Structure 1
Amino acid sequence: MREVIDSQPARQPSLRVARSLTEVFAPALLAAAMPIVIGIASTSPILVGLGWALVGALFCSVVPNALIWWGVHRGRLTDHHIRVREQRRTPLIYGLLSVLVGLALMIGLDAPRPVIAMVVVMFALGLAVTAANLVWKLSIHAAVAAGSAAVLVIQFGPALFASAPVVALVGWSRVRLRDHTLGQVIAGTALGVLVAIPSFLLVR
């Protein structure tokens, strides 16, 4: 079925939109962007927040994503979204270890609490989806997008409920590309919200 989808992008504008949404709001990009957004918005002077945010982005996104691309290059992973559930466990575990290293560094060097809270959210989300992945392939895209949106609402107020349609579009893209079922997207969205809200509130 995927071969049919991949052969039709020119005739299916909705597939091109779905692929764009999947890439633009990929978990790795959100894991890099969210510490930066929170760091800049919550820390003064801004450069201090940005510096720590970049540390968070390094360990939450750059290092784990580099390991995934290395796995793809070596032929151990099918693609950078790791569509095959059985291939996800090792990259997810290495990603968790990377986030833990970054978190320990940030706590030890007294990084701003909102940035630490954001990294804790990413670790908690990673831990939750890793556990779920042992038995089921829920949508990591949906989990991270929903968790990120929840943090934005907490940090910036109800106006950021406007990010909810983006979460819905990300979920739609995963179903449209047939990488996930609707149930897997709903489960990922619910998990993201339920994990992100208490994790961020408890630490910040």
Structure 2
Amino acid sequence: MSALVDRPARTSSRVARLVTEIFAPAVFAAVMPLIIALHSTAPAVLTGLGWALLAILFCSVVPYAVIWVGVRRGRLTDHHIGVREQRRLPLVYGLLSVLVGLAVLVFAGAPRPLIAMVVVMFAVLLVVTAINQAWKLSAHAAVAAGSMSVLVIVFGAALIPSLALIALVGWSRVRLADHTTRQVVAGALAGILLAVPTFVLLS
């Protein structure tokens, strides 16, 4: 009987883990520049891919590589950096990488929407880094909320239902006991409040 009772809980945990991995900040940091670059350079697909790969290098590949090395060397407990006290250096390195990438994109003449997207990513990461010095704000929720808000701005009201993804990501973080509901809600609000005006003004 206990096995039957525990089965839904185990299934729920597996789903939460899957959601957390699929919609991790590093994934959004790779997917969003690709979508925005292709959309802003259409129909020149190759041009869009070139800009996207440049942005992804600095916004996703380098920051995630820093985290991966930290995990491999035992300085970080896991690739989501579940221990708040371990987050400072990886987040700072991530900020520096995104800032360098932003400078490269600006000087190379990247499309304005892509530059706006990278600025959004930098702003969200900066706020998450600052708050995480004292409180474990959910980076997953902040990045998901900021990203989905930008997609609604770019593609219109038809994508409003997709904002439910923010709630799904938040649920996964609470279900895995990596964050409290307050930390998830605060992260989502921060992502939206930073992303919407920043992207609208710069794009």
TM-score class normalised by the smaller sequence? over 0.9
Q: Which amino acid letter does the alignment assign opposite residue 157 of structure 1?
A: G
Aligned 8 A contact 1:9 1:15 in 2? no
Report the aligned-residue RMSD: 1.3
Which residue does the alignment assign to 2:103?
104
1: CA distance, partners of 2:196 / 2:119: 11
CA distance in 2, matches of 1:144, 1:160: 17
1:29 to 11, 27, 30: 27
SS in 2 for 1:185: helix
Instruction: State the partner residue of 2:184.
Output: 185
**Cα-to-partner distance string for 1:11-64 (whole Å, 9 max, x where unaligned):** 610000000000000000001000001111121312212210111111000000
Deviations 1:80-111 (A, max 9, x none): 00000000010000000000111000101101
TM-fit CA distance, 1:164: 1.2
> Structure 1's 157 and 136: CA in aligned 2 closer, same or farther, altered over 3 A?
same
Please report the TM-score for the alignment, with normalisation by the length of structure 2. 0.94
Match of 2:3 in 1: none
Is this contact kept in 2: 1:138–1:187, CA < 8 A? yes
Structure 2, gaps ≥5 residues long: 1-5
Q: Which residue is equivalent to 1:159? A: 158
Unpaired segments of 5 or more residues in structure 1?
Answer: 1-7
Percent of matched pairs sharing the same residue: 64
Count of equivalent residues: 197
* Equivalent residues of 1:151, 1:196 under 8 A apart: yes
Which residue in 2 is equivalent to 1:40?
38
Cα separation, partners in 2 of 1:178 and 1:162, compared to 1, 3 Å: same
Distance 1:54 1:115 in 2: 11
The amino acid across from 1:137 in the alignment is: K
Amino acid at match of 2:27: L
Q: CA deviation at 1:199?
A: 1.3
> 1:169: Cα distance to partner?
0.5
AA aligned to 1:101 is: V
Deviates more, 1:64-73 or 1:10-19: 10-19
d(CA) in 1 for partners of 2:13, 2:148: 24
Give the equivalent residue in structure 2 for 1:77: 76
Moved more, 38-47 or 169-178: 38-47
Per-residue Cα deviation, 1:126-183 (whole angstroms, up to 9, x for no partner): 1010111111001000000000010001100011112111111000000000000000
